[in-house]
A and B are shown apart, each in its own frame.
Chain A
Amino acid sequence: MKNFDTTKWILYPFLFLLTLAVLIPILNLLALSLSDPLKVHELNGLSIFPAGFSLINYKVLLSNPLVTKSIFNTFLITTVGTLLNLLLTSMMAYILAKTTFVGKRLVVIFLIVIMVFEPGLIPEYLLVKDLGLLNTYASVILYKAINIYYLFILMRFFQEVPDSILEAARIDGAGHFRIYTKIMLPLSKPGLATMGLFYGVYHWNEYFRATIYITDPAKWPLQVVLRQFVVQRDNTAILGAQNLLSYEQVASLDFTSLQAGTIIIAMIPLLILYPLILKFYAKGALEGGVKD
């Protein structure tokens, strides 16, 4: 009975405080962004309920061409990028996990060497520049078309598909490409979904490569706009084009609330997918020992 009490009276409240330390800063931003601009001064850094209610911040942000374009860019980069990631990674994973061929050891050693030796920023930047990819979506998508850690994790998923099925298909005359498309991919949907989420989260959060490769604001993903607006506190681009609002409305806007709204917008898809992400990620993380 003594142990039961310790857990209940000390541990449970303590862990609850820890979860508050994560939730309050996020809920505070949500409250800021949803408050009435005229009442927002009533809030402090620990408030989790909005003062009054107004969607004006979201209206301003979502009517701003820079913001809407960047949301579109992020969706484009995330979708195309993830599909390409999945295609290239799964094809290579199938070959490495399920076939034997001359030179296989060499390929595996090559991958490990590449994993260890990182060329660093400048040679990569100069390569992207030489390939003429500066200021293109492709620069952000292509430079990380396969993640070797993820490749190894997917190989482990693929290895779970029983060899007997592949063997049967082979006897029926199916080639490797057919086996890959007609058997391997359909049978490994959970593995592919896991990798899809890994890559998807990765693309959604990517800002650095876009910061250095893309100088045209019209091609910026959301995270770059967020960085400029929130981290560097540069509001010229955001507040520049507010022709949809009256002067009074523009005058009443609160810079901090707008920043809060931008952060929330950048989090929304993650939060919606969070239950799914949690389910797949934990399994994948344990199998691959991923640390990123």
Chain B
Amino acid sequence: MRIIKASLQQVKKDWVIYAMLFPGLLYFVVFHVIPLIGMKLAFQDYRIIGDNVWVGLKHFKILFSSPAFMDVLQNTIIISTMKIVFFFPIPIILSLLINEVRSGRYRKYVQSVVYLPHFLSWVVIAGIWISLLNPTDGGINIIRNFFQLPSLDFMTSKEHIRWVLVFSEMWRSAGWDSIIYLAAIMKISPTLYEAAKIDGASSLQQMRYITLPAMMTTVVTVFILNLGFFMNAGFDQVFNMMNASVISVVDILDTYVYRIGIVNGQYSYATAASLFKGFIGVVLILGTHFISKRFTGKGVW
């Protein structure tokens, strides 16, 4: 009782603190907690007039028996996996290369250029890539023609569009993502390199035996974090690069939810799909958080 009374007195004394906290908390309650409660829609039928009706797992049953949903799930997994396998190592390699550049001005030039695409919106990037991959006079096809290869319409080709996603992701993020690895390299003590040089180690040997092992913690942390966001195959990117010819191979969970929910107005069904995605996402994030804590001492938060 006394503790409660003391805390109440404290709360009363600190009312300014609570008043200053209030606008922020109000925002979080309205725009985060209420939609969180709104997810109950996945277990209801949405009614425009009157109360929604509880229908249990109906929408989930439809979802899991729907071939369209299974395709979308498969696309999400394929695209995410391709990005992890083919994109993940690139920023690491890039940071090693940039690190070898000793000239201050050249290094600065390279860094400011490769970071740039990170700040462009996916709408702008989609515009740039659509023009770059243009079948008649896009830059890539001009290079292909130079090597006697026929022009390809990448954006409408089911075989190539997923690679377009991987490469445009590289174009946008490889530079920016290398920052975190460069920071890890900066922390390595220069005395290690000096000692290695005296022992006659070449720069490749220095990279192999000093830089890479020292970066490993960061690499593992970033890898684990990426796994946590595995179900986000890149909404903005796919949304802007998708078209009718390739929708069957690039439609991912998030774009599917957008289409059936916002475009077709099937709110309950779409909420069920995004709840499923959210559930997997939370399991992955919590899982990776604890794995990460265990192996690297650093968690997701």
| A interface residues, Cβ below 8 angstroms from B | 2-3, 6-7, 11-12, 14-16, 18-19, 21-26, 28-29, 32, 43-46, 88-89, 91-92, 94-95, 99, 101-103, 107, 110-112, 114-127, 131, 142-146, 175-177, 180, 201, 204-208, 212, 223, 226-227, 230-231, 256, 259-260, 262-263, 266-267, 270, 274-275, 277-278, 281-282, 285-286, 289, 291
Shortest CB distance B202–A (Å): 7
A sample of 15 inter-chain contacts (CB < 8 A) reads A2-B202, A18-B114, A22-B117, A22-B175, A44-B137, A92-B20, A111-B28, A116-B286, A121-B261, A123-B35, A207-B123, A230-B130, A270-B119, A282-B179, A286-B179
A3 vs B270: C-alpha distance in the bound complex, in angstroms?
58
The listed residue (A25, A107, A119, A180) touching B132 by CB distance below 8 A is: A25
Residues of A within 8 A of B223 (CB): none
Residues of A within 8 A of B1 (CB): none
CB of A45 within 8 A of CB of B24, answer: no
The listed residue (B17, B106, B119, B267) touching A274 by CB distance below 8 A is: B119
Would you list which residues of chain B between 111 and 134 have a CB under 8 Å from chain A?
Answer: 112-117, 119-121, 123-124, 126-132, 134
Residues of B within 8 A of A260 (CB): 131
Stretch at the interface among B67-75, B78-86, B157-165, B271-279: B271-279
Shortest CB distance A91–B (Å): 5
Question: Does B285 interact with chain A (Cβ within 8 Å)?
Answer: yes
CB of A201 within 8 A of CB of B202, answer: no
CB of B126 within 8 A of CB of A45, answer: no
- How many residues of B are counted as interface, with CB atoms below 8 angstroms from the partner's CB atoms? 91
Residues of B within 8 A of A32 (CB): 131
Residues of B within 8 A of A26 (CB): 128
Question: Assuming A121-B274, A230-B130, is B33 touching A114 (CB within 8 A)?
Answer: yes
Question: Does B183 interact with chain A (Cβ within 8 Å)?
Answer: yes
Chain A interface secondary structure, helix, strand, loop or mixed? helix
CB of A25 within 8 A of CB of B139, answer: yes
CB of B127 within 8 A of CB of A263, answer: yes
Shortest CB distance A98–B (Å): 10
CB of B139 within 8 A of CB of A28, answer: yes
Question: Does B291 interact with chain A (Cβ within 8 Å)?
Answer: no
In addition to A95-B17, A119-B278, 12 A-B residue pairs with Cβ atoms within 8 Å of each other are A2-B202, A19-B113, A25-B129, A102-B7, A120-B274, A122-B271, A123-B36, A125-B262, A146-B27, A175-B16, A208-B236, A227-B123
CB of B180 within 8 A of CB of A286, answer: yes
Residues of B within 8 A of A206 (CB): 121
CB of B101 within 8 A of CB of A12, answer: yes
A122 vs B271: C-alpha distance in the bound complex, in angstroms?
6
Shortest CB distance A248–B (Å): 25
CB of A227 within 8 A of CB of B240, answer: yes
Question: Does B98 interact with chain A (Cβ within 8 Å)?
Answer: yes
A158 vs B239: C-alpha distance in the bound complex, in angstroms?
38
A124 vs B274: C-alpha distance in the bound complex, in angstroms?
12
Residues of A within 8 A of B30 (CB): 127, 131
Residue of B nearest to A14 (CB): B97
Question: Does B18 interact with chain A (Cβ within 8 Å)?
Answer: yes
The listed residue (A7, A89, A101, A120) touching B39 by CB distance below 8 A is: A120
CB of A99 within 8 A of CB of B17, answer: yes
A33 vs B168: C-alpha distance in the bound complex, in angstroms?
23
CB of B257 within 8 A of CB of A121, answer: yes
A19 vs B171: C-alpha distance in the bound complex, in angstroms?
10
CB of A121 within 8 A of CB of B124, answer: no
Shortest CB distance A78–B (Å): 12
CB of A126 within 8 A of CB of B38, answer: yes
Shortest CB distance B162–A (Å): 18
A11 vs B100: C-alpha distance in the bound complex, in angstroms?
8
CB of B17 within 8 A of CB of A176, answer: yes
Residue of A nearest to B23 (CB): A88
CB of B41 within 8 A of CB of A266, answer: no
Shortest CB distance A206–B (Å): 8
CB of B124 within 8 A of CB of A266, answer: yes
Residue of A nearest to B106 (CB): A12
Question: Does B141 interact with chain A (Cβ within 8 Å)?
Answer: yes
Would you list which residues of chain B between 85 and 115 have a CB under 8 Å from chain A?
Answer: 94, 97-98, 100-102, 106, 109-110, 112-115
A107 vs B128: C-alpha distance in the bound complex, in angstroms?
43
Residues of A within 8 A of B239 (CB): 208
A286 vs B28: C-alpha distance in the bound complex, in angstroms?
26
Residues of B within 8 A of A14 (CB): 97
Question: Does B296 interact with chain A (Cβ within 8 Å)?
Answer: no
Residue of A nearest to B111 (CB): A278
Shortest CB distance B228–A (Å): 10
Interface centre among B41, B121, B262 (most CB of A within 10 A): B121
